[in-house]
Amino acid sequence: MSEELIPSTELSLFAEQCPLGDESPTTENVDNESVVILDSDEHKIEEIKQWLQHNIPEDICVSWKETSEDRIKELAKFGIKDIFKEWPRYFDSNGYQLIDIDFDTMFPGKSDLMFNKIESVEEAITKELFPSLIKDKLNLTYYDAMLVFYLDCRHYYLINLLHAVITPPRVNKNIKPFITDAQMDMMVHLININNFQQKLDELNESAHNEGLTLQPRVFVVDESPQNLKDFYVCVDNIKYKVGSLIRAIDLVVKMSFVFNIEYSVKSKYVWIFLQRYIYDISSKEKFPKIENILNKLNNVQ
């Protein structure tokens, strides 16, 4: 990062100046006292927010957790560009860790479910859905590849094969995505990360031409899907590099709730399936294709 990190001692001094809820105003009226305390806390949270707009403390997670509940209420009122303006620390290279904190505030105990459940999820899906529900030759070759290669490669084909089972929805009367459209809508394979901006520009132009917006998307990088090494999530020109494909998938689900944004429309069925099946978080709408697959999987547990 281009900005210099602020020593943790400086944040501690700031916290001492702006403690959350430590002061007890003196007033004879209890109701008035509650109002004064509330106003005091809101003022201090606003001060922390403004301080974080200009500083990057080493222990930012402390201040981020302290302000998480109030920030989530605030984010619900903003568009994504305003969110990044008000809380620019999301722009930092480790900004995805701040998304983790806010997601955990929204859904306590669910933040690690992807990592805790992925092995059992992979086993159940492979046993109950593949290859019996895969109808086309291309995706059957993906199934064969999934059984051979290493972890991130298996997960890459696993996610792609879900689109072959939960086929994508019609976008409008003119756009009915193919399975491959949904697969590339969810995960973009780049041979070299140097091609990232060019590809992003192409995706933005394509979405604009179709009357759509470019939603959060996963980028995987290497010459071949059989040897994936780098994983990114892009949202509104912010690019987060993460440690695995499953971490990238996890991050998109979390930011959809924290930033209150929709999944990309062509791949939304698989995103909603993962949200329901792994995180046990309900969706605004129910779709028969997703419900049928969920029922099939839940009946064998």
The DSSP code sequence of 213-256 is: ----EEEEESSSGGG--EEEEEETTEEEEESSHHHHHHHHHHHH
Q: Report the pLDDT averaged over residues 255-279.
A: 97
**Six-digit token string for 285:** 């709408």
Residue 209 host element (H or E) = helix 196-209
pLDDT band at 36 (very low <50, low <70, confident <90, very high): very low
Amino acid occupying residue 181 = D
**Six-digit token string for 257:** 């709730």
pTM for this entry: 0.83
Map residue 172 onto helix, strand or coil: strand
Q: How far apart are CA 202 and CA 258, in angstroms?
A: 27
**pLDDT tens digit string along 268-280?**
999 999 999 999 9
**To the nearest whole percent, how much of the chain has pLDDT over 70?**
86
**pLDDT tens digit string along 157-211?**
999 999 999 999 999 888 899 999 999 999 999 999 999 999 999 999 999 999 9
